[in-house]
Structure 1
């Protein structure tokens, strides 16, 4: 589904991500981990054309994605919820959701069932929502538009534990339909319990890429303790 070969990325002359190779298969759930500043968000932004790609190649479903083309990824069904949630503050909740919907695509999970707030506040401008409510709206938008890939940066930010569990369960159901799911968060344990594979970044490079199983937990714990 998603293929990265030798990806380098950053901002202007500043290189943050270096020589990243990665494959994410259809229906796979991947946790992208590491401390702040290790390059996780920049890698995502580079993939989606929001940071400068300084080398390498991106392919989605076998088709190349040129640098700086977030529109092309969106048309191919890839959705990113960025760290700032990516909502339109002057539009209402309902308008934000409507813009995220894709013709002839119905996700396996109705985000309004995960987040009742979306129905209760459907007429409210998104800019007046609390941080946690914006998080719910941002995740909902990704679910509605991600027919091939969903990427969520800082998944638990502002969410109460019951909603975090509901989101992770819903993403598992979505992945079971063939959508690949990549999640980033500082709370590694939550993701490791609910993903197929873990990737750890340090200093802009991948230092671990393997299954999230009891057999790999000791190594992951060691890496994350210093990463």
Structure 2
């Protein structure tokens, strides 16, 4: 059974339909690359998964449970951890305060997060606003991990970061895949870096799933057609 499954999802923002027929699924321990050009429905699909946006048709299940009537905080309690686009750290709180704000009991505690991202231990008492963009991104990932999720969703987690920081984050994701058994959905534009961690890929085009399969089966024809500029 899939950990999370979206089946033929439709969704609206007011009168405007954003998703028409989105289907995807992620198994325990699997890394899925959710791909597509800007504005094609990736973040909207994430909002549906996290119950920040209600779907109008289709079905969303997590570990076999229908999520249709679930509020977002209950989706988080089920085990969905989100690293949102734009990081959204609590600017006036310290690194430590950001990390413990939504912490839940489990393997991922302050020490485990700092082992994954040693910079956060060094900046423990600094306000999040004083961190670099890359450090804030590490903090956002650490904050999601502190909820001890079964599914970690990363929405453009390396966008706009310096190459050395991008590499640190991708290495951390590879470590999570190898050691945690956590399911991961990663939205990113870098095929090369996604290829280091992703098992499968789903491509969205104008609010529809247009390709799904093993990441290694993603060829030049598909990338040019659906991901090219």
Superposed displacement of residue 169, structure 1: 3.2
Q: Provide the rounded CA distance (Å) in 2 between the counterparts of 1:31 and 1:47.
A: 15
Cα deviation for residue 142 of structure 1 reads 1.9
Aligned match of 1:163: 165
Farther-moved stretch of structure 1 (157-166 vs 41-50): 157-166
Q: Does the 8 Å CA contact 1:33/1:186 hold for their aligned counterparts? A: yes
Q: Alignment length, in residue pairs?
A: 225
Of 64, 89, 92, which aligns to 1:90?
92
RMSD: 2.2
1:223 Cα deviation from its structure 2 partner:
2.9
SS of 1:112 mapped into structure 2: helix
User: What is the TM-score of this pair, normalised by structure 1?
Assistant: 0.88
Q: How does 1:139-218 map to 2 (within 5 A)?
A: 139-176=141-178, 177-213=180-216, 215-218=217-220
* Distance in 1 of aligned mates of 2:160 and 2:137: 7
* Match of residue 137 from structure 2: 135
Flag as ranges the 4+ runs of structure 1 deviating above 4 A.
Answer: none
Return the alpha-carbon distance in structure 1 between the equivalents of residues 106 and 156 of structure 2: 29
Partner of 1:78: 80
Q: Hey, what does 1:64 align to over in structure 2?
A: 66
Q: State how far apart, in whole Å, the 1-side matches of 2:108 and 2:181 are.
A: 13
Report the CA distance between 1:212 and its aligned residue.
1.1
Aligned counterparts of 1:81 and 1:32: Cα–Cα separation in 2:
14
Q: How far is the alpha carbon of 1:226 from its aligned partner?
A: 4.1
Structure 1: 5+ residue runs without aligned partners? none
**In structure 1, how many angstroms separate the alpha carbons of the residues matched to 2:136 and 2:69?**
29
Structure 2 runs not aligned, ≥5 long:
none
Find the aligned partners of 1:17 and 1:26 in 2 and give their Cα distance.
Answer: 25
Instruction: Confirm whether residue 123 of structure 1 aligns to residue 132 of structure 2.
Output: no
Label 1:168 to 1:226 Cα distance change in 2 as closer, same or farther (>3 A): closer
